[in-house]
Amino acid sequence: MINMEFFHKLSKKDKIGLIAAAIVVAMLFIDRLVISPISERLRRVNSEIALSEKKFSLDLRNINNKDVIEKEYRRYKDYVKRSSASEEEDVANMLAEIEGLARTASVRLVDIKPLAPKQADLYREYAISVEVEGDMGQVMTFIYNLNNSSQLLRVEKLRLGLKDKETSLVKASVLVTRISI
């Protein structure tokens, strides 16, 4: 350690300065080795507690809204069940639905073409290109029925035009999609 002879030779003022410097250095070591790690750990634990409290409050809100959530789930559960059918069966079901809706709306199906399904991580998107003819009211009824079908069909693209200039018949090109889980 410190040579005691060296220490005794120092003046009183130098001894006080050396002791003060040793105390400051010791306090810095204690701060760096003990206090800082403990305070950092406490800060981390406090932030984890705050995050857990937020998650808990959200979970508690969900528990309090359990009845509402279950009611909404029952309302939509038929639409989101996993399809056990093959791609061909899913497309055939869509085609049958579209043909039935066209009959209901009294429009004439000119052309109907299934497109290749798009596979995403959690779902598969089917698309069918449909061309129909009819008067404007019939075509609008058909589009409305598509958007409100039990298979959750959606009209993605719509192009309307007159079939002939002399008639009031409307020709519509429609891209119909459906998502299957």
Kindly report, residue by residue over 76-96, the tens digit of the pLDDT: 777 666 666 677 888 888 899
pTM above 0.85, yes or no: no
Tens digit of each residue's pLDDT (9 = 90 or more) over 133-172 = 999 999 999 999 999 888 888 999 999 988 777 788 899 9
* pLDDT recorded at residue 79: 65
DSSP for the chain, please give it.
---HHHHHHS-HHHHHHHHHHHHHHHHHHHIIIIIHHHHHHHHHHHHHHHHHHHHHHHHHHHHHTHHHHHHHHHHHTTTSSPP-S-HHHHHHHHHHHHHHHHHHHTPEEEEEEEEEEEE-SS-EEEEEEEEEEE-HHHHHHHHHHHHT-TT--EEEEEEEEES-SSS--EEEEEEEEEEE-
Task: Give yes or no for residue 3 having a pLDDT over 60.
Answer: yes
* pLDDT recorded at residue 89: 85
